[in-house]
C-alpha cells in the first residue's frame, strides 16, 4: 500500500508519516519543504496549488492524508487571501487529483475549532455547526464540505478528522508548551496570568498521528471523527509539570495580575473514535512534555554543533590564502 501525505514535512504530518511507516506502508510526502526527519520515504516537492503536479504525484497512490495548510491561526489572520488559496483551493485540488487517480480514500486534517461558534458546551460529530466567525475556521469548514460533496457526487471516499490542540516533538515554537520549555531551559521564569486556572485539553501528537493511521479502517469511510485529548490541563499545571521535570531549583514560576481562568472551550467527545477506531489518547501530560523536552534539547544541541562547524568553516575561509613561492628559473 502507498499513501501520499500532503504537509508531510510539517508538525502533525511528519508524525503521520512515522505511524504509516511503522505499519509498513510506503509513503510519499508532498510538501514545499523537504522532509528531513527520515530517509525511507519518497518526496515530491510542489505546491498543492499546482493541480498538475498533485495529479502526477498521486499515481499509484491508495490513500491520501491531506494536512498541508496554513495552520497557524495568526498567519491566517495576517494573510487571509493567501491562506484561503492554500486552505480551500488547495483542498479541492487534492480532491480533484484523488478523483482522477481513483484513490481509495482521502483523509482530511480538520480541527475542533469548527465547534467554536456553536451554543452547546458539549459537542460531538452530530452537533450542527454554526457559521464561523474566524477565517481559519471558515477555510477548514469549507474543506470539510468539499470532502463531503466529493464523496456524495463522485463516490470518492473521504474521512474528516477534527484534531484537538496537539503538542509534542517538532511543534511550532510559538505554542504555550514550547514557549514555557524554552524559557525554563534558558533560566527565565514561567509567567502565569491570574490564578493560572485557564484550562485546555491537549492531545499528544503521536496519539493524533495514530488516529490518522487508524482512520484507514473501512468503517471510517465517509465519516467524521473528533480526536481530542482526555485530560483538562490548566496553565499552572503545565508550568508545574515542567518545573517538576527540570527541577524546582532551576525553574521559577511567577504570577502576574490577570483575570481568573474563564476559558473553558468546548467539551468535545471523541467517543466515536474510541468505539469505531479503537482510538484513545495514551500519552499523559508529564510523559508528553518529557518527550518534548528531550527532542528540544537534542535539536538545540544539533543547532549548536552546526553553528560551531559554520564558525570553523568561515574562520578557515577568511584566513589569508597560502602564498606559494614560485621557483624562478635560473
Ligand atoms: N497545529 C495545530 O494546532 C492544529 C490543530 C488542529 C488542526 N490542525 C490542522 O492540521 C494540519 C497540519 O497542521 P500542522 O500543525 O502540522 O501545520 P504545519 O505548519 O506544521 O505543517 C503544514 C505543512 O504544510 C506544508 N504546506 C504549506 N503550504 C503548502 C503548499 N502550498 N503546498 C504544499 N505543502 C504546503 C508546509 O510546508 C508544512 O510542512 C493543518 O491542516 C491544520 O489546519 C492543526
Mutate to test the pocket of ligand 1, among 12, 47, 203 (most ligand atoms within 8 A of CB): 12
Give me the pLDDT at residue 312, please. Answer: 78
Residue of 285, 178, 180, 165 whose CA lies nearest to 239? 180
Give me the pLDDT at residue 325, please. Answer: 54
Helix (H) or strand (E) holding 301: helix 285-318
Q: Which triple of cell numbers denotes residue 8? A: 508531510
Q: Is 146 a catalytic residue?
A: no
Q: Is 150 in the pocket of ligand 1 (CB under 6 A)?
A: no
Sorted by where each starts, the structural domains of the chain and their CATH numbers stand as 2-299 (3.40.50.720)
Scan for cell 497512490, then name that residue: 61
Q: 88 with 48: CB under 8 angstroms?
A: no
- Could you tell me the distance, in angstroms and rounded to a whole number, from the CA of residue 172 to the centre of ligand 1? 11
Q: 272 with 125: CB under 8 angstroms?
A: yes
Give me the pLDDT at residue 285, please. Answer: 96
Q: 158 with 217: CB under 8 angstroms?
A: no
Residue of 62, 83, 81 whose CA lies nearest to 72? 83
Q: 48 with 94: CB under 8 angstroms?
A: yes
Residue of 233, 242, 247, 244 whose CA lies nearest to 190? 242
Backbone dihedral angles phi then psi of residue 40, each to the nearest 5 degrees: -105, 35
On whether the pTM is more than 0.75, the answer is yes
Average confidence (pLDDT) per 10 residues, the chain, 330 residues: 98 98 98 96 98 98 98 96 98 98 98 94 96 96 98 98 97 94 95 85 97 98 97 92 94 83 75 98 97 97 89 72 54
Q: Which triple of cell numbers denotes residue 256? A: 502576574
Q: CA-based Rg of the chain, rounded to a whole angstrom? A: 23
Calculate the CA 271 to chain-centre distance.
22
Q: Is 87 in the pocket of ligand 1 (CB under 6 A)?
A: no
CA 110, CA 66: separation in Å to the nearest integer? 9
Residues 6+ apart with CB under 8 A from 79: 70
- Could you tell me the distance, in angstroms and rounded to a whole number, from the CA of residue 166 to the centre of ligand 1? 12
Q: Which triple of cell numbers denotes residue 14? A: 511528519
Q: Is 143 in the pocket of ligand 1 (CB under 6 A)?
A: no
Q: Is 88 in the pocket of ligand 1 (CB under 6 A)?
A: no
Mutate to test the pocket of ligand 1, among 6, 16, 69 (most ligand atoms within 8 A of CB): 69
Q: Is 191 in the pocket of ligand 1 (CB under 6 A)?
A: no
The closest-lying atom of ligand 1 relative to the alpha carbon of residue 13 is 16
Distances in Å between the alpha carbon of 80 and those of 54, 136, 258? 23, 8, 31
- Could you tell me the distance, in angstroms and rounded to a whole number, from the CA of residue 69 to the centre of ligand 1? 4
Amino acid at each position: 500500500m502507498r499513501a501520499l501525505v500532503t504537509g508531510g514535512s510539517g508538525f502533525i504530518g511528519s508524525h503521520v508519516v512515522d505511524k504509516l511507516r511503522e505499519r509498513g506502508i510506503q509513503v510519499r510526502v508532498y510538501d514545499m519543504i523537504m522532509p528531513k526527519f527520515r530517509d525511507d520515504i519518497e518526496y515530491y516537492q510542489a505546491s498543492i496549488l499546482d493541480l498538475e503536479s498533485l495529479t502526477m504525484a498521486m499515481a499509484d497512490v491508495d490513500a491520501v492524508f491531506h494536512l498541508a495548510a496554513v495552520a497557524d491561526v495568526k498567519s491566517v489572520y495576517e494573510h487571509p487571501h493567501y491562506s484561503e488559496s492554500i486552505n480551500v483551493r488547495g483542498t479541492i485540488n487534492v480532491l480533484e487529483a484523488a478523483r482522477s487517480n481513483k484513490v481509495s480514500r482521502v483523509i482530511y486534517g480538520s480541527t475542533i475549532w469548527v465547534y467554536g461558534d456553536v451554543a452547546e458546551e458539549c459537542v460531538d460529530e452530530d452537533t450542527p455547526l454554526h457559521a464561523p466567525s474566524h477565517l481559519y475556521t471558515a477555510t477548514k469548514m469549507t474543506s470539510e464540505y468539499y470532502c463531503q460533496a466529493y464523496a456524495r457526487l463522485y463516490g470518492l471516499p473521504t474521512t474528516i478528522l477534527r484534531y484537538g490542540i496537539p503538542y509534542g516533538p517538532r511543534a511550532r515554537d510559538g505554542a504555550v508548551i514550547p514557549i514555557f520549555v524554552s524559557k525554563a531551559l534558558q533560566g527565565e521564569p514561567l509567567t502565569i496570568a491570574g490564578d493560572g486556572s485557564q484550562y485546555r485539553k491537549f492531545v499528544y501528537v503521536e496519539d493524533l498521528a495514530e488516529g490518522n493511521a487508524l482512520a484507514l479502517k473501512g468503517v471510517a469511510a465517509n465519516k467524521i471523527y473528533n480526536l481530542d485529548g482526555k485530560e483538562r490541563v490548566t496553565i499552572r499545571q503545565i508550568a508545574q509539570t515542567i518545573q517538576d521535570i527540570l527541577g524546582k531549583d532551576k525553574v521559577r514560576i511567577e504570577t502576574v495580575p490577570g483575570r481568573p481562568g474563564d476559558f473553558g472551550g468546548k467539551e468535545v467527545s471523541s467517543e466515536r473514535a474510541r468505539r469505531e477506531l479503537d482510538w484513545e489518547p495514551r500519552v499523559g501530560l508529564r510523559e508528553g512534555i518529557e518527550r518534548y523536552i528531550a527532542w528540544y534539547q537534542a535539536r538545540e544541541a544539533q543547532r549548536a554543533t552546526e553553528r560551531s562547524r559554520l564558525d570553523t568553516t568561515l574562520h578557515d575561509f577568511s584566513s589569508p590564502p597560502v602564498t606559494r613561492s614560485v621557483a624562478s628559473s635560473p
